[in-house]
Amino acid sequence: MANIKSAKKRVLIERERRVENNSVKSEIKTYEKKFKNELAADAAKAEETFKVLSAKLDSAARENVIHANCANRKKAHYSKLLNDAKASK
């Protein structure tokens, strides 16, 4: 444990940030799973979930929870899956 007051404060702040960041990442993973499940069942529902997922990814990238390129890469991947599913039906 840190000895200096500012270092102790930094430890507490980083702990709070880590909890918040993990929460955001978990929410993104939940929407990714939901999107994949809906994509198999219904492309219309999946499109609505994709919009929410895209917004969550943009928000996480803006807050530096995930890297911007990671967010863009995931959006492109899921967009391609959605477009392929719509084209096949």
The domains of the chain are located at: 40-89
pLDDT of residue 60: 97
pLDDT of residue 1: 73
* Separation CA 72–CA 57 (nearest Å): 8
* Separation CA 86–CA 83 (nearest Å): 5
pLDDT of residue 83: 95
* Separation CA 39–CA 50 (nearest Å): 10
pLDDT of residue 72: 98
pLDDT of residue 88: 84
Low-confidence ranges of the chain (pLDDT < 50): none
Query: How does pLDDT run across 25-46, given as a tens digit for each residue?
Result: 999 999 999 999 999 998 889 9
| Residue that has been written with the tokens 């890469």 in this structure | 73
User: Which helix (H) or strand (E) element contains residue 58?
Assistant: helix 43-62
